[in-house]
Amino acid sequence: MKASRKVFFSLLFLLLSLNISQSQNLQNSWTHVQSPTTKWLFRCSFVDTLNGWAAGDSGVIIHTSNGGINWEVQNSGIENFIEDICFLNPRYGWALSNDYLTFGTMVLKTTNGGDNWSMARFPDSTLIITNICFLDSMNMYLGGMSGLILKTTDGGANWIKGSLGGTFFSVFPVRRLSFFNEQYGLACGGVMDLAGTIWLTTDYGYNWTMVDTTPEPLNDVLFYTMQYAFAAGGDFEYGGSFSVSSNGGAVWHDSTLGIFGAGQSVALRTPNEIWIPLGFSQLWMVTTDTGKTWTDVLAPDSSAVYDAVFIDEDHGWGVGAGGAIVKYYARHEIGIQNPGVPVSANLFQNYPNPFNPSTTISFEILKSSKIVITLYDVLGKEIKVLLNEFMNPGQYKINVSSEGLSSGIYFYKLETADFTGTKKMVIIK
């Protein structure tokens, strides 16, 4: 009996130690970055591993061109709160600001990466627009108050209102939009202490069907693959919430997690690992098994993070109150790998990303080895072998075509005898 109890407590101690170690590793994944502002940063947008923007209170817009090492303040030309900022590529971007005294939404545009911003009032001054979703330079969506979804196919010259069906929920604020491709999209929103909701379109954004309701508003939604989609929200009374669909957004499974705070955005690092900042509570919700279990992690320096994004599994950023900027460091970059083991190769992010019709993968070989680069879909199924040959030290590039591949997220993996590296690429057709 004593031996059995000893084994039991030994196993219990081991499990607790593993849980504590995992929580510490997750918490140590983020670090604070020096910010050029103390203004509240509400939204961020990154187009690659180098170029990113963040915006928020008092018309502040900041920009980095070196992966967040240094940031500079850009002149937005306004002093009102910026509701959203979204860039399509390193040069073309939009931002939105609302004047609640004179009514109407101000649309800010740049074609040179934010060096200069033009400003114009949205033609319909009765609309309050709060969020942007780019598909490309011609096709984009805007969401806002009173069940507003607007669609353009000519770069914003003309706009069409989407129909949310005329139900009680169709006048709820639309907080975020996400599209898998031009035909299939999701929107989320809701009203505090009333309900949250998710809408689905399958006809290019013209008509939207309510497919889910939750006890509290949903603040962000991500249409990840043609099968999988995620949403986050909640409130401070009941805690953060998470919703997942595994059939293209038609049916959802909702969970209230009891972690203090409300989910502000959905940041997907890998197909299994999702980070959700909880804003005011200075916490993250994080899962490493696609939402089956969750851990609450303290944000660095107790930062209140309101938006976060991952470009690939090694590069992520978050922004928040007081001008807070946090940067993700892959755990192999902060001491989990043995520093005494020499690295035989380096794999870099493909460019451009997202792409169509082609992109370039760059990699570096530090010692002669057999090199295999394989492309996988988001579920881990092998699509094709891109390279399989013995190579000498040097820097190399290979071109990848989107021909025969559908829109979506893919992963490419480089393998040598003693190195494995994986990056994420996105095809948009």
In a domain, residue 95? The reply is yes
- The answer on 372 and 224 residing in a single domain is no
- The answer on 397 and 274 residing in a single domain is no
Residue 183 identity (one-letter amino acid): Q
In a domain, residue 305? The reply is yes
Decide if pLDDT at 335 tops 80.
no
- The answer on 405 and 264 residing in a single domain is no
pTM: 0.75
Domain-terminating residue out of 269, 298, 329 = 329
Lowest-confidence pick of 67-71, 98-102, 145-149, 189-193: 98-102
Q: Please state the rounded mean pLDDT for residues 26-41.
A: 87
Total domains in the chain come to: 2
In a domain, residue 20? The reply is no
Decide if pLDDT at 11 tops 50.
no
Question: How do strand 72-74 and strand 82-87 relate by DSSP bridges?
Answer: unpaired
Q: Please state the rounded mean pLDDT for residues 288-309.
A: 93
Q: What are phi and psi of 329, to 5 degrees?
A: -120, 125
The Cβ of residue 275 has, within 10 Å, a number of other Cβ atoms equal to 25
Mean pLDDT, the chain, rounded, equals 89
Where do runs of H (alpha helix) occur along 141-264? none
Tokens coding 268: 């997907």
- The answer on 270 and 150 residing in a single domain is yes
In a domain, residue 241? The reply is yes
- The answer on 43 and 83 residing in a single domain is yes
In a domain, residue 339? The reply is no
**Distance (Å, rounded) from C-alpha 264 to C-alpha 36?**
23
Q: How confident is the model at residue 27 (pLDDT cuts 50, 70, 90)?
A: low
- The answer on 229 and 84 residing in a single domain is yes
Nearest residue to 428 (alpha-carbon basis) of 134, 198, 176? 134
The Cβ of residue 357 has, within 10 Å, a number of other Cβ atoms equal to 11
- The answer on 395 and 266 residing in a single domain is no
Name every residue whose Cβ is closer than 8 Å to that of residue 66 and which is 6 or more positions away in sequence: 50
Percent of the chain having pLDDT more than 90? 68
Say which CATH number the domain at 74 has: 2.130.10.10
Which range in 215-224, 335-344, 372-381 is most confidently predicted, on average pLDDT?
215-224
Domain-terminating residue out of 297, 329, 361 = 329
**Distance (Å, rounded) from C-alpha 249 to C-alpha 228?**
7
Q: Please state the rounded mean pLDDT for residues 2-21.
A: 42
**Distance (Å, rounded) from C-alpha 6 to C-alpha 380?**
41
Name the CA dihedral angle for 290, 291, 292, 297, rounded to a multiple of 10 degrees.
Answer: 110
Q: How confident is the model at residue 339 (pLDDT cuts 50, 70, 90)?
A: very low
Q: Please state the rounded mean pLDDT for residues 158-170.
A: 95
Decide if pLDDT at 7 tops 70.
no
**Distance (Å, rounded) from C-alpha 224 to C-alpha 230?**
7
Which pLDDT score is estimated for 337? 37
In a domain, residue 11? The reply is no
Say which CATH number the domain at 381 has: 2.60.40.1930
**Distance (Å, rounded) from C-alpha 85 to C-alpha 42?**
9
**Distance (Å, rounded) from C-alpha 99 to C-alpha 103?**
5
Decide if 316 contacts 310 (C-beta within 8 A): yes
Note down the domain range covering 385.
346-427
Residue of higher predicted confidence among 9 and 400: 400
- The answer on 359 and 313 residing in a single domain is no
Which pLDDT score is estimated for 129? 98
- The answer on 294 and 364 residing in a single domain is no
Percent of the chain having pLDDT more than 70? 90
Q: How confident is the model at residue 252 (pLDDT cuts 50, 70, 90)?
A: very high
**Distance (Å, rounded) from C-alpha 325 to C-alpha 333?**
19
In a domain, residue 19? The reply is no
- The answer on 120 and 261 residing in a single domain is yes
- The answer on 301 and 231 residing in a single domain is yes
Which pLDDT score is estimated for 344? 63
In a domain, residue 340? The reply is no
Domain-terminating residue out of 277, 296, 329 = 329
**pLDDT tens-place string over residues 198-230:** 999 999 999 999 999 999 999 999 999 999 999
- The answer on 309 and 361 residing in a single domain is no
